[in-house]
Amino acid sequence: MKNKAIIAPSLLACDFLHLEDEVKSAVAAGADIFHADVMDGVYVPNISFGFDIIKSIVSVSDIPVDAHLMIKKPYAYIDTLKKAGVWSVTVHSDFDTPDVVRSTLEQIKAAGLKAGLSLRPCFDASELDPYADICDMFLIMTVEPGFGGQKFMADMLPKIKAARLIADAADHPISVQVDGGIGEATIGLVAEAGADNFVVGTAFFKTDDRLENTAKLRRIAEENMN
């Protein structure tokens, strides 16, 4: 039996003037988790939203929130994120030395949260292998991190396949998530490559019928999942 495709709306693409309505609309449309991009203007050249916003999102939603930390010192905020109510925390493989990356993943797990590790486009899937024992999710960026609405990078498909092989070789389940340019034209490609978790920004929040669109994206993904 095939696994269910996880649809994760990226809150970076929502209408922040009507944040509560956007969150509730996404839940009603069948979203599985929320993807919250936290940026510090240092690791990436953009600033998004802080932890109070995440806490507010958690307070009006009954689905999990995954915090994707595109920041230089994620280890300083794990306890804050736990108190905010997030379900999982994803950090990048290159925010610091391998020892610091591992200790941060251990800190996330010790806090009782799911731990994710993300790769920017310039890094090979082999970067994931040393951390497979502690990760619950691998995130493959199919755009450069920092801004929404970018074009999908098709040359990341082999990396998704490689990440799936590493995930499948682990002694525990690891989800393979993709983020960047995911929509009707691309979700099947990344699902076929091995992804099971799909971050959807513009293609989710900029549609007229979110319920129908979510069902369609899920159907395309699941038809192509191995």
Query: Which H or E run contains 119?
Result: strand 114-119
Which band of pLDDT confidence, cut at 50, 70 and 90, is reported for residue 2?
low
Question: Which tens digit of pLDDT belongs to each residue from 69-88?
Answer: 999 999 999 999 999 999 99
* Catalytic positions, written as ranges: 37, 179
The residue ranges of every structural domain in the chain are 6-224
The model's pTM: 0.94
Q: Fill in the DSSP letter of residue 56.
A: H
CATH for the stretch 6-224: 3.20.20.70
Paired tokens of 1:
């039996």
Average pLDDT over residues 15-26: 95
**CA-only gyration radius of the chain, Å:** 16
Contacts of 11 (CB under 8 A, 6+ apart): 22, 23, 34, 35, 36, 37, 49, 57
Q: Give residue-wise pLDDT tens across range 169-218.
A: 999 999 999 998 999 999 999 999 999 999 999 999 999 899 999 999 99
Per-residue pLDDT of 147-157, as tens digits, reads: 555 678 899 99
pLDDT (average), residues 31-45: 92
Tens-place pLDDT, residues 115-127: 999 999 999 999 9
Backbone angles phi, psi at 114, to 5 degrees: -75, 145
- The token duo for 30 is 């069948």
Q: Kind of pairing, strands 175-179 and 137-141?
A: parallel
Residue 97 has which token pair?
Answer: 């030395």
Number of other residues whose CB lies within 10 A of the CB of residue 169: 10
